[in-house]
Amino acid sequence: MIAVVDYEAGNVRSVLHALERIGAGEVRLSADPEILRSADKVILPGVGDASVALESLRRSGLAEVLLSLTRPVLGICVGMQVLCRHTEEGDVDGLGVFDAEVKRFIPDGIKVPHMGWNTVEGKGCALLEGLTDPVFAYYVHSFYAEISPDTAAVSVHGIPFSAILQHGNFSGTQFHPEKSGPAGAKILQNFLSL
């Protein structure tokens, strides 16, 4: 069973539809700690303000539940950012799974938010297995995770930033695989195969 975390932070419906399209099997949208702990895979979606998402996770007790999980977990967009060490958005500490700082893009010759298709490069990244270069993914974000030891794939928008983070059983994509066409579907399938 795949659990999608329900914590009032965004792109839940599009993630559920994407999982249905790839034939993911039993998928449950839930905030129940027992369902999340018993799931084979957990997806933490997210859009909006990372500091608000973090407050919701902490208030509901889901932050502790997420940190206790030993099965594969995938954070998407803000869902990835909240798993980082700190975010400039609201100047708050994240959950600290990924040793990365989340920073705001500076609009110095680039459009902010970064919106649209961009390439993702990551040799040996498990989520990109079976995809040929260049991989294109869909982004909508004004904040990014810096390059860090946990960076598994990179995109460039003015500066290089982490497109995919991986640490232990946790993975995160700054882009939206559920909105990234066939490549995004393959990335979700790769996650479900971990």
Catalytic residue annotation: 77, 176, 178
Q: In angstroms, what CA-CA distances link 50 with 23, 93, 103, 107?
A: 30, 10, 11, 20
Q: How far apart are the first and last CA of the chain?
A: 14
- The 3-class SS string of 129-173 reads CCCCCCEEEEEEECEEECCCCCEEEEEEECEEEEEEEEECCEEEE
| DSSP-derived pairing of the beta strands 92-93 and 73-76 | unpaired
Q: What does residue 86 show for φ and ψ, rounded to 5 degrees?
A: -160, 150
